[in-house]
Amino acid sequence: MMSYGQEVFTTTGVDDLVKLEYEIYPSLNAIELEKKSVVIDFTTLFEKPTIGFGLSYTSHSMGFEDYNMQNMFTSFEELHHVSVYVKYRKSLANNWNLDLTIAPYLASTFNEGITSEDFVLSYSAHFIKNWDNDGLKSSLKLGGGYGSLFGKPNFYPLISYSKDVNKKFCYEIGFPITAAYYKINEQSQIDLTAQPESIYANNSSGFNIVNESLIYDSKLQFSALKLSLGYTFLFDDNWSSSFSLGYLAASELTIEDSNSNNIYDFDSNESVSLNIGISFNINNK
C-alpha cells in the first residue's frame, strides 16, 4: 500500500506511465482493507539532467463490520492520499548519478476541512553508481529519505545493490526493498519481493474512545513487511498487466493523537493480499 510517490523513492523503471491498481487484504484482525489507485507519471526527454514529474491518487477503504467495536471507527472507513512529485537526475563523473525527489502529499479522511495536519512533505536524495559488463548492468544506490514509508513520517536509509546475472535473471538486495526478477520470455516475467507496506492519514474531525473526550487531528497508521510473488504480462510495447499474491508479516495498525500518543491498537495480525494492475507506457522509447 505504498503510495506511488513513496514507490519512486525505492524502485527503478517506473517512468512515463499511467497505472491503475486494485489490492485487497481480507483480514487484519477482522478488518478488511481495500486499496484503489491511479498514477500518471511523466519523465521529460532531457538526458542530462533528467526531470520527471507526476501525480497519484490512492483510496483506502477499511471495513470494520466484523470488528467488535466497529461503531467507534467510522471516521476511518475512507482514507485518501493525493500526491504530486518531482524527480531530478544529474549525471556525475565516473558513471555516478544524483537522484533527488520531492513529493508533497495530502493524506486525510476528508471528514472535515483540510488542515495543515493533512499535509506531509516527502523527499529523498541518493547517489547511484552504474556498471555495464557486456550488456549486463549492475548498480549501487546510497542515500536516504523522509516520508511515511513505514507509517508515521520519519527518516529512512536507501541502500541497495542490483545486478543482471544474465539476460533473464536479475536481483536487488538492500533496504527498504529486496527482490528477484526472472524473465520467462519476451512477454512474461515473475518476481519475488520483500518491501514495506504503509498507510498514514490524518482525521481532523472529532474522534473518541468510549467515555473519553473528543480528540481532533488523530492519525491512523499502518505498517507491515510484505512478501509477494508477482507475475507481469506485456501485451505489447505499451500495455502490461500485473498480478501478485502477498503475505503480510509484522503488521501494526494504530491510532495516535496529535501529540503522537498511542490511543488505540487494533492488534492487527498476518494477512494475505491480492493485487491486480494494468499499466500503459505513455512514452515508449
Put residue 260 in one of left, alpha, beta given phi > 0 → left and psi -120 to 50 → alpha: left
Q: In angstroms, what is the C-alpha Rg of the chain? A: 20
The answer to whether 197 and 23 are in contact (CB under 8 A) is: no
pLDDT digits (tens, 9 = 90+) for 130-152: 999 998 999 999 999 999 999 88
User: Which cell is 176 given?
Assistant: 527498504
238 alpha-carbon distance from chain centroid: 23
Backbone angles phi, psi at 95, to 5 degrees: 65, 30
- pLDDT higher at 97 or 47: 97
The answer to whether 83 and 123 are in contact (CB under 8 A) is: no
pTM metric for this prediction:
0.87
- Is the pLDDT confidence value at 49 over 80? no
**3-class secondary structure per residue, 151-181:** CCCEEEEEEEEEEECCCCEEEEEEECCEEEE
Averaged over 25-29, what is the pLDDT? 83
Q: What 3-state DSSP class applies to 200?
A: strand
Averaged over 251-265, what is the pLDDT? 88
Helix (H) or strand (E) segment spanning residue 7 = helix 4-7
pLDDT digits (tens, 9 = 90+) for 104-116: 999 999 988 888 9
